Structure formats: structure tokens, C-alpha cells
């Protein structure tokens, strides 16, 4: 159905666009900090809501409330962790890595960056990150990719893990968004090829992601498709759900870029 807009609506939309464009051109993006230090500091015991170890190759899901955070910790060795998320109050809104990359002008995610939904809102703020080696382009493993990589070995894969996560939420495989691979040191060369840079991984790396809306979050701990280890031996990870400190007015994730500022404005307009 074609919606006809009045001249006044068109003019107002145009003015809003020009105002956003002007703000973006005048905004000086903040320099992001160095990776968070290792080892990871302890989380206050009174802030911890839940802590769990996820076996290598397995999956886990949780309802994460706005203002809570997840710490994903590689205490037992380097292990890629794939992540997906849906808005808990409207599951048609979900993680969108294309917009996350496009509006922040970078594929390099780390402390101070945000993760967008497909409705232009901020789902996560990355409040700590010792790695800086995350992949938002390649996607996760599948039954076919594992069969080619580990012939004759029975394995679990990221895609099927997230099919199970989605099913528990009453969703179908078509509802699964593109996955964010944490702790996956993938870089692109000048010819557009993807390469694994294992020297950028630390076995004790961790990341903390603060929820900016109520979400259903799914994690999978299967090896990344480019992981060069010929043996299927994913390490377990530790996940801590905790109450994050309230962000201040100068919170890095909320102020680093004009695009992040606009994303949080969108959040504010749609929050009760």
C-alpha cells in the first residue's frame, strides 16, 4: 500500500534529516580507549544475578534486562562465542550487524562501541573488552562447514545451536539474525579475503556488554569457521549476568559518535 504524505510532513522529515546531517558533520568522534586490562577484575558479589559455565560446543540463552550486563569470560582457554539477540517485548526487532558496522563506519568493535538493532536502536553497549578481536561479518559454523572441516567427527555447530535457542522462544530459523562472533580475530586483506590472526587472541580475554533494552540473548560456543585448529575442541566459557553501574552523562558508549547519540535518542522515544 502506498502512503501519501502531505507537503508539511515531507518538509518536516526533510528538516529532521538536515538537522541530523548537520549534527553528524559537526560531531567530533571520541577516541576509543585501549583494550581493558587483564586479568579481569572481580565483579562485586552483590551485583551478580547469575553465573554459569557453558561447555564448549554448547549453547545458552537468557532474558537480559535493561541496565544489566553480561561478562563473557574465556577463563579456560581461547574460545569464540557467537551471540544473537531479540527485543524481549517485540521479537521482530533483533540484532543487526550491517547497521552496526554501517553507522559506526567500522567493523572494529570494542570498548565504547554499541550494537544496533534493525530499528536503529542500541541493544548493547560494550563497556569492557580486553580483546578488540571480534568478527561481525563471517557468521557462524553450520553442519556443512563442520563436516568439511572435521570429516568423520560428530560435532555441534552454531547454526543448529541457535535454531534450538530460537525454538525455545517460539521462533523459527528464519528469525535468527546474523551472529556476532566474540573473540574471533578475523581481519580482511586488501583483496577482500578473510584471515584468522590468532596472535591477537588471549586465553583470558573477556568482554562486558550492557543491555540497553530488555532482550532475549543467545550464545553458542562452537569454533569459528576460520579457526585453524584441525581438531574440534572448543573450550568452555564463563558467563556472568550482573547489575551494571548506571551510565553517567559522559558514558563513552553513549557519547563516542553522533550515530550512537542518535541511537540512544531512538531508545528514549520508544521506552515506556
pLDDT digits (tens, 9 = 90+) for 88-101: 999 999 999 999 98
Q: Is residue 247 part of a domain?
A: yes
Q: Is residue 23 part of a domain?
A: no
Number of H helices, E strands in the chain: 6, 12
**Which of 17-26, 43-52, 85-94 shows the lowest per-residue confidence on average (mean pLDDT)?**
17-26
Which whole-number Å values give the CA distances from 19 to 90, 99, 238, 268, in the listed order?
Answer: 29, 20, 44, 18
Q: Is residue 35 part of a domain?
A: no
- Count of domains observed in the chain: 1
Question: Which tens digits make up the pLDDT trace of 194-244?
Answer: 888 766 666 789 999 999 999 999 999 999 999 999 999 999 999 999 999
Q: Is residue 87 part of a domain?
A: yes
Q: pLDDT at position 1, please? A: 45
Q: Is residue 85 part of a domain?
A: yes
- pTM of the full predicted structure? 0.86
β-partners of residue 125 are 114, 210
Q: Is residue 178 part of a domain?
A: yes
Q: What is the mean pLDDT of residues 34-45?
A: 92
Q: Is residue 93 part of a domain?
A: yes
Does 76 or 146 have the greater pLDDT score?
146
Q: Which residue has the cell 571520541?
A: 30
- How many residues are listed for the chain in this entry? 272
In the chain, pLDDT over 90 holds for what percent of residues?
65
Q: Is residue 222 part of a domain?
A: yes
- Measured CA to CA, the distance from residue 73 to residue 65 in angstroms comes to 20
Q: Can you give the residue range of the structural domain that contains 208?
A: 47-270
Amino acid at each position: 500500500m502506498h502512503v501519501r504524505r502531505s507537503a508539511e510532513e515531507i518538509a518536516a522529515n526533510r528538516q529532521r534529516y538536515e538537522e541530523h546531517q548537520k549534527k553528524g558533520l559537526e560531531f567530533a568522534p571520541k577516541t576509543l580507549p585501549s583494550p581493558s586490562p587483564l586479568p579481569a577484575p572481580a565483579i562485586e558479589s552483590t551485583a551478580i544475578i547469575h553465573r554459569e559455565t557453558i561447555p564448549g560446543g554448547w549453547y545458552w540463552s537468557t532474558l537480559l534486562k535493561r541496565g544489566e550486563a553480561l561478562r563473557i569470560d574465556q577463563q579456560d582457554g581461547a574460545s569464540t562465542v557467537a551471540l544473537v539477540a531479540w527485543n524481549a517485548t517485540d521479537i521482530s526487532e533483533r540484532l543487526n550487524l550491517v547497521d552496526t558496522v554501517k553507522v559506526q563506519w567500522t567493523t572494529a568493535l570494542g570498548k565504547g562501541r554499541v550494537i544496533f538493532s534493525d530499528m536503529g536502536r542500541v541493544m548493547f553497549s560494550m563497556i569492557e573488552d580486553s580483546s578488540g578481536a571480534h568478527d561481525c561479518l563471517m557468521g557462524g559454523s553450520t553442519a556443512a562447514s563442520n563436516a568439511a572441516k572435521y570429516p568423520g567427527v560428530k560435532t555441534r555447530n552454531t547454526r543448529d545451536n541457535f535454531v534450538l535457542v530460537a525454538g525455545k522462544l517460539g521462533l523459527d530459523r528464519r528469525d535468527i539474525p546474523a551472529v556476532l562472533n566474540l573473540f574471533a580475530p578475523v581481519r580482511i586483506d586488501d583483496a577482500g579475503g578473510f584471515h584468522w590472526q590468532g596472535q591477537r587472541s588471549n586465553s583470558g580475554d573477556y568482554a562486558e556488554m550492557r543491555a540497553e533494552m530488555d532482550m532475549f540473548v543467545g550464545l553458542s560456543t562452537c569454533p569459528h569457521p576460520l579457526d585453524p585448529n584441525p581438531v574440534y575442541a572448543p573450550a568452555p566459557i564463563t558467563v556472568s549476568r550482573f547489575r551494571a553501574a548506571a551510565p553517567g552523562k559522559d558514558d563513552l558508549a553513549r557519547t563516542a559518535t553522533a550515530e550512537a547519540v542518535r541511537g540512544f535518542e531512538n531508545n528514549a522515544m520508544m521506552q515506556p
